[in-house]
Amino acid sequence: MPDSTNLLLLLLIHTLATLLIYMFPFPADAAQRQRYSWLTAKALPYGMAVGGVMLATATGVGWSLVVAILVITSQLTLETLKQSKARNFAVDLMLTHLLPLALLLAIWCSSTHNWQGLGELLSTLFEPEMLILLIAYMFMSHPTSALIAQLLRPWLNNNDLRDEASLKNAGKLIGFLERFLILTFVLLGQWSAIGFLLAAKSIMRFNDTRTAQRPVSEYVLLGTLLSFTFSLMMGITVSKLLYG
Protein backbone atom coordinates (compact mmCIF):
# COMPACT_ATOMS: atom_id res chain seq x y z
CA MET A 1 0.00 0.00 0.00
CA PRO A 2 1.51 3.41 -0.99
CA ASP A 3 2.59 5.72 1.81
CA SER A 4 0.25 8.46 0.58
CA THR A 5 -2.69 6.06 0.80
CA ASN A 6 -1.82 5.28 4.42
CA LEU A 7 -1.78 8.97 5.28
CA LEU A 8 -5.12 9.55 3.54
CA LEU A 9 -6.65 6.62 5.44
CA LEU A 10 -5.45 8.08 8.74
CA LEU A 11 -6.94 11.46 7.83
CA LEU A 12 -10.21 9.75 6.85
CA ILE A 13 -10.36 7.97 10.21
CA HIS A 14 -9.78 11.24 12.05
CA THR A 15 -12.50 12.97 10.00
CA LEU A 16 -15.03 10.22 10.69
CA ALA A 17 -14.16 10.19 14.40
CA THR A 18 -14.60 13.96 14.62
CA LEU A 19 -17.92 13.70 12.80
CA LEU A 20 -19.17 11.11 15.30
CA ILE A 21 -18.09 13.29 18.22
CA TYR A 22 -20.18 16.19 16.92
CA MET A 23 -23.12 13.95 15.99
CA PHE A 24 -23.26 12.33 19.43
CA PRO A 25 -22.08 14.94 21.96
CA PHE A 26 -21.51 14.14 25.59
CA PRO A 27 -24.72 14.70 27.62
CA ALA A 28 -24.20 17.52 30.09
CA ASP A 29 -26.26 15.88 32.86
CA ALA A 30 -24.56 12.46 32.68
CA ALA A 31 -22.91 10.92 35.74
CA GLN A 32 -19.13 10.56 36.10
CA ARG A 33 -19.22 6.83 35.29
CA GLN A 34 -21.20 7.52 32.13
CA ARG A 35 -18.62 10.14 31.20
CA TYR A 36 -15.79 7.59 31.16
CA SER A 37 -17.93 5.07 29.28
CA TRP A 38 -18.73 7.69 26.66
CA LEU A 39 -15.07 8.67 26.27
CA THR A 40 -13.99 5.03 25.97
CA ALA A 41 -16.67 4.32 23.38
CA LYS A 42 -15.29 7.20 21.31
CA ALA A 43 -11.60 6.39 21.70
CA LEU A 44 -11.59 2.60 21.24
CA PRO A 45 -12.84 2.44 17.62
CA TYR A 46 -10.56 5.34 16.70
CA GLY A 47 -7.46 3.66 18.11
CA MET A 48 -8.36 0.25 16.68
CA ALA A 49 -8.91 1.74 13.21
CA VAL A 50 -5.54 3.50 13.27
CA GLY A 51 -3.88 0.30 14.50
CA GLY A 52 -5.57 -1.59 11.68
CA VAL A 53 -4.13 0.79 9.10
CA MET A 54 -0.68 0.33 10.60
CA LEU A 55 -1.13 -3.45 10.48
CA ALA A 56 -2.08 -3.21 6.80
CA THR A 57 1.19 -1.40 6.09
CA ALA A 58 3.13 -4.49 7.21
CA THR A 59 4.71 -2.66 10.14
CA GLY A 60 4.16 -5.64 12.42
CA VAL A 61 1.61 -6.60 15.03
CA GLY A 62 3.67 -5.22 17.90
CA TRP A 63 4.00 -1.73 16.43
CA SER A 64 0.33 -1.70 15.43
CA LEU A 65 -0.66 -2.57 19.00
CA VAL A 66 1.58 0.17 20.39
CA VAL A 67 0.04 2.68 17.98
CA ALA A 68 -3.51 1.64 18.91
CA ILE A 69 -2.79 1.99 22.65
CA LEU A 70 -1.08 5.35 22.09
CA VAL A 71 -4.00 6.72 20.06
CA ILE A 72 -6.62 5.46 22.53
CA THR A 73 -4.72 6.96 25.48
CA SER A 74 -4.24 10.28 23.73
CA GLN A 75 -7.90 10.47 22.74
CA LEU A 76 -9.04 9.74 26.29
CA THR A 77 -6.69 12.43 27.60
CA LEU A 78 -7.72 15.05 25.05
CA GLU A 79 -11.45 14.39 25.45
CA THR A 80 -11.10 14.62 29.24
CA LEU A 81 -9.30 17.95 28.85
CA LYS A 82 -12.06 19.20 26.55
CA GLN A 83 -14.70 18.39 29.15
CA SER A 84 -12.75 20.02 31.99
CA LYS A 85 -11.85 23.28 30.24
CA ALA A 86 -14.02 26.21 29.24
CA ARG A 87 -15.18 25.72 25.66
CA ASN A 88 -13.88 28.17 23.10
CA PHE A 89 -12.72 28.03 19.50
CA ALA A 90 -8.98 27.87 20.24
CA VAL A 91 -9.31 25.04 22.78
CA ASP A 92 -11.61 23.02 20.54
CA LEU A 93 -9.36 23.49 17.53
CA MET A 94 -6.25 22.39 19.39
CA LEU A 95 -7.72 19.43 21.28
CA THR A 96 -10.02 18.17 18.53
CA HIS A 97 -7.86 18.66 15.44
CA LEU A 98 -4.33 20.03 15.81
CA LEU A 99 -2.95 17.66 18.47
CA PRO A 100 -4.61 14.47 17.11
CA LEU A 101 -3.46 15.30 13.57
CA ALA A 102 0.07 15.99 14.81
CA LEU A 103 0.09 12.58 16.51
CA LEU A 104 -1.19 10.82 13.38
CA LEU A 105 1.42 12.59 11.27
CA ALA A 106 4.17 11.52 13.69
CA ILE A 107 2.90 7.92 13.60
CA TRP A 108 2.83 7.96 9.80
CA CYS A 109 6.36 9.40 9.56
CA SER A 110 7.68 6.81 12.03
CA SER A 111 6.04 3.95 10.13
CA THR A 112 7.07 5.04 6.64
CA HIS A 113 10.38 6.76 7.54
CA ASN A 114 9.27 10.02 5.95
CA TRP A 115 10.76 12.36 8.53
CA GLN A 116 13.03 13.92 5.91
CA GLY A 117 10.07 14.63 3.64
CA LEU A 118 8.21 16.21 6.55
CA GLY A 119 11.21 18.41 7.28
CA GLU A 120 11.35 19.56 3.67
CA LEU A 121 7.63 20.32 3.74
CA LEU A 122 7.94 22.35 6.93
CA SER A 123 10.92 24.23 5.52
CA THR A 124 8.73 25.54 2.68
CA LEU A 125 6.60 27.33 5.29
CA PHE A 126 9.55 29.65 5.96
CA GLU A 127 10.13 30.61 2.34
CA PRO A 128 9.62 34.34 1.57
CA GLU A 129 6.46 33.73 -0.48
CA MET A 130 4.76 31.82 2.32
CA LEU A 131 5.79 34.40 4.91
CA ILE A 132 4.35 37.19 2.75
CA LEU A 133 1.03 35.35 2.51
CA LEU A 134 1.00 34.63 6.24
CA ILE A 135 1.67 38.27 7.12
CA ALA A 136 -1.02 39.44 4.68
CA TYR A 137 -3.74 37.19 6.08
CA MET A 138 -2.75 37.97 9.67
CA PHE A 139 -2.90 41.71 8.96
CA MET A 140 -6.39 41.26 7.50
CA SER A 141 -7.65 39.97 10.86
CA HIS A 142 -7.26 41.90 14.10
CA PRO A 143 -4.87 44.68 12.92
CA THR A 144 -7.23 45.77 10.14
CA SER A 145 -10.24 45.54 12.46
CA ALA A 146 -8.47 47.79 14.96
CA LEU A 147 -7.53 50.25 12.22
CA ILE A 148 -11.11 50.43 10.90
CA ALA A 149 -12.47 50.84 14.43
CA GLN A 150 -10.02 53.69 15.03
CA LEU A 151 -11.10 55.43 11.82
CA LEU A 152 -14.78 55.07 12.74
CA ARG A 153 -14.30 56.11 16.36
CA PRO A 154 -15.59 59.70 15.84
CA TRP A 155 -19.03 58.28 14.97
CA LEU A 156 -19.25 55.68 17.73
CA ASN A 157 -20.75 58.17 20.21
CA ASN A 158 -23.95 58.40 18.19
CA ASN A 159 -26.91 57.16 20.23
CA ASP A 160 -28.40 55.28 17.27
CA LEU A 161 -25.21 53.25 16.94
CA ARG A 162 -25.00 52.45 20.64
CA ASP A 163 -28.58 51.22 20.65
CA GLU A 164 -28.10 48.84 17.72
CA ALA A 165 -28.53 45.19 18.82
CA SER A 166 -26.00 42.72 17.45
CA LEU A 167 -24.65 39.26 18.13
CA LYS A 168 -21.51 39.29 20.25
CA ASN A 169 -18.37 39.47 18.05
CA ALA A 170 -20.48 38.64 14.97
CA GLY A 171 -19.44 41.81 13.15
CA LYS A 172 -15.78 41.14 13.84
CA LEU A 173 -15.99 37.59 12.48
CA ILE A 174 -17.91 38.78 9.41
CA GLY A 175 -15.17 41.33 8.79
CA PHE A 176 -12.45 38.69 9.08
CA LEU A 177 -14.14 36.36 6.61
CA GLU A 178 -14.95 39.20 4.24
CA ARG A 179 -11.35 40.40 4.08
CA PHE A 180 -9.93 36.88 3.82
CA LEU A 181 -12.23 36.17 0.87
CA ILE A 182 -11.40 39.43 -0.91
CA LEU A 183 -7.65 38.91 -0.43
CA THR A 184 -7.95 35.36 -1.77
CA PHE A 185 -10.01 36.48 -4.76
CA VAL A 186 -7.48 39.21 -5.63
CA LEU A 187 -4.58 36.75 -5.45
CA LEU A 188 -6.51 34.36 -7.71
CA GLY A 189 -7.47 37.16 -10.09
CA GLN A 190 -11.19 36.56 -9.52
CA TRP A 191 -12.39 40.16 -9.64
CA SER A 192 -15.93 39.17 -10.57
CA ALA A 193 -16.18 37.15 -7.34
CA ILE A 194 -15.36 40.32 -5.38
CA GLY A 195 -18.23 42.11 -7.09
CA PHE A 196 -20.53 39.21 -6.29
CA LEU A 197 -19.46 39.33 -2.63
CA LEU A 198 -20.12 43.07 -2.43
CA ALA A 199 -23.53 42.62 -4.07
CA ALA A 200 -24.44 39.76 -1.73
CA LYS A 201 -23.50 41.78 1.34
CA SER A 202 -25.44 44.78 0.04
CA ILE A 203 -28.56 42.66 -0.44
CA MET A 204 -28.30 41.14 3.03
CA ARG A 205 -27.77 44.57 4.58
CA PHE A 206 -30.59 46.21 2.61
CA ASN A 207 -33.42 45.25 4.97
CA ASP A 208 -31.40 46.28 8.02
CA THR A 209 -30.43 49.67 6.69
CA ARG A 210 -33.90 50.36 5.26
CA THR A 211 -35.46 50.21 8.72
CA ALA A 212 -32.49 51.74 10.56
CA GLN A 213 -31.71 55.37 11.20
CA ARG A 214 -29.55 57.23 8.69
CA PRO A 215 -26.44 57.31 10.94
CA VAL A 216 -26.54 53.51 11.19
CA SER A 217 -26.74 53.10 7.41
CA GLU A 218 -23.84 55.48 6.87
CA TYR A 219 -21.77 53.77 9.57
CA VAL A 220 -22.32 50.34 7.97
CA LEU A 221 -21.45 51.71 4.53
CA LEU A 222 -18.26 53.33 5.81
CA GLY A 223 -17.16 50.14 7.55
CA THR A 224 -17.83 48.02 4.47
CA LEU A 225 -16.00 50.37 2.11
CA LEU A 226 -13.00 50.62 4.43
CA SER A 227 -12.87 46.84 4.77
CA PHE A 228 -13.01 46.35 1.00
CA THR A 229 -10.44 49.10 0.40
CA PHE A 230 -7.85 47.67 2.78
CA SER A 231 -8.40 44.15 1.42
CA LEU A 232 -7.99 45.27 -2.19
CA MET A 233 -4.87 47.28 -1.37
CA MET A 234 -3.33 44.34 0.46
CA GLY A 235 -4.24 41.91 -2.32
CA ILE A 236 -2.73 44.12 -5.03
CA THR A 237 0.42 44.70 -2.97
CA VAL A 238 0.92 40.99 -2.29
CA SER A 239 0.27 40.16 -5.96
CA LYS A 240 2.97 42.62 -7.00
CA LEU A 241 5.42 41.14 -4.50
CA LEU A 242 4.72 37.54 -5.51
CA TYR A 243 4.15 37.80 -9.24
CA GLY A 244 5.90 41.04 -10.15
pLDDT reported for residue 188:
93
pLDDT tens for 193-232 read 999 888 887 777 666 555 555 566 677 778 888 999 999 9
Mean pLDDT for the stretch of residues 115-128: 81
Structural domain spans, the chain: 3-123, 128-243
Render pLDDT for 62-102 as a digit per residue (tens, 0 to 9): 778 888 888 888 888 887 787 776 667 777 778 888 888 89
Handedness of CA 103, 108, 113, 118 (dihedral sign): negative
Q: Range with the lowest mean pLDDT among 14-18, 55-59, 172-176?
A: 55-59
Read off the pLDDT band of 139 (50, 70, 90).
very high
User: φ, ψ for residue 85 (rounded to 5)?
Assistant: -100, 155
Measure CA 92 to chain center.
Answer: 10
For residue 95, give the DSSP letter: I
Q: Over pLDDT 70: what percentage of the chain?
A: 78
Task: Identify the band that residue 163 occupies on the pLDDT scale cut at 50, 70 and 90.
Answer: very low
The residues, ordered by sequence, that sit 6+ positions from 70 with a Cβ below 8 Å of its Cβ are: 47, 103, 107
